[in-house]
Structure 1
């Protein structure tokens, strides 16, 4: 086995608690409009459906990040039965609460600092736009602990396409066998990485059964460092 030289990490729900922040933003939106007939889980799921539908427009450059939010909020309010939905106002409400709830997952800074102290190269590989993701990294000072950040604009194709992981390895100056991918998505951060020739560590915060062959897994980032050998 090749010696490990680099660690590639997902961002949302791996280092940054995007799920909690999204719930906070949606709760603020629901409260503002007096929405009581949808559970928070249903609201979260419908919001995620709109993200999946709108993201291709964003990635093709047909809308920018703000335009994608406007469209998402307008569609969501329509689903909720809000008459004459004001996407701009809804975006402000959602975004204010979302940002106020920004937090890293426990162990994120310690993990990155520990990897750096071991002389390992680090990268963030994320299937979202740089305008949004870089803001998070800078806000928490993670940009100073990461050697390379690859967002959707920097990849020939998004995860789980093997070219995404190979692009990260090239940027880090390593071959795939010298790198490990850490992330919460089985498809994007485990299966895709392994197909590309990398090792993988699954961040399984909710202790879900593995959908495929076993890989090292952690519920908390504090335990990840010990698995990276």
Structure 2
């Protein structure tokens, strides 16, 4: 009896490509780096050296988040945000907050912030690797579409994703599950073939779980590889270098048989490379039977 040919040995319907959604701010975009540089400029020009830089950063970030949440809830207009958060910050440190002072503060902060925008370390390499390996990538983010697209372009990730889906476009901000549903419908993705990588437990993880998407928490300060959030076991990565392995070892991927794995990664350069990558996943997991679907 002859052995089956390669063409018929692994017969399975091709699986949909897996979509990896990412948050933008504090996930792909290093907001903290820009914020520290912007507040250092403010500290220097306004002679605020009596206050530690980290205290200035914390106070401004607190004001920023407070005002931004009000904007997401339609309690304040987008164009009024800057003045409002500067007022809150100025009051906390006894600084002047008349219109001229606010204008000067805003110009100094904005220039330094934008000059120091950068992608999160390892994120560009991770996006490039994912796309090379056949994954789809997109961004789900809160904020105005024009601003968020410009930011994605500035840090070099725009051309590495299919779409930047914003709360303005979807008419619902994270963590509302409807923005995730909107993204999946627009990009024709099923929840079982989707992941959400984000830094916020409340916005990214909660919303993804409610939408049926597998969440991955990005937390560089975490000492754990997983945690329970909203009753679900959630994978935690501390760097983007951990992302690809986390995807390979996730239950939703590794519960598939070998034939399905090969079809999912059909864009690998060769059949042997697909086998090699699969075997590496088997070697790295503590339960090979899970990988083999036994």
- Provide the TM-score with structure 2 as the length reference: 0.70
Unaligned runs of 5+ in 1: none
Q: 1:44 aligns with which of 57, 74, 77?
A: 57
1:14 matched to which residue of 2? 27
Contact 2:142–2:167 (8 Å) recurs in 1: yes
C-alpha distance in 1, partners of 2:191/2:207?
Answer: 12
Q: Does 1:221 align with 2:240?
A: yes
Deviations 1:103-129 (A, max 9, x none): 111211111112222232221011122
Q: Would you say how many aligned residue pairs link Structure 1 and Structure 2?
A: 227
Please give the alpha-carbon distance, in whole angstroms, between the structure 2 residues aligned to 1:89 and 1:4: 49
Tell me what 2:43 maps to. Answer: 30
Q: Is the partner of 2:233 in helix, strand or coil?
A: coil
Describe the SS at the equivalent of 1:223. Answer: helix
155-164 or 77-86, larger mean C-alpha shift? 77-86
Measured in 2, the distance between the counterparts of 1:13 and 1:128 equals 13
Q: Deviations over 1:73-113 (max 9, x none)?
A: 23322322123541111011111111122111121111111
SS at match of 2:244: helix
State whether structure 2 residue 91 is matched by structure 1 residue 78: yes
1:55 and 2:74 are equivalent in the alignment: no
Q: 1:64 aligns with which of 78, 81, 87?
A: 78
Unmatched tracts of structure 2, length 5 or more: 1-14, 249-294
Kept after mapping to 1: 8 A contact 2:119/2:156:
no
Larger RCO (alpha carbons 8 Å, 6+ apart): 1
Deviations 1:209-229 (A, max 9, x none): 646353222111122122224
Are 2:17 and 2:134, in contact at CA under 8 Å, matched by a contact in 1?
no
TM-score by length of 1: 0.88
Greater radius of gyration (CA): 2
Contact 1:10 1:184 in 2 (8 A): yes
Cα deviation, residue 208, structure 1: 5.3
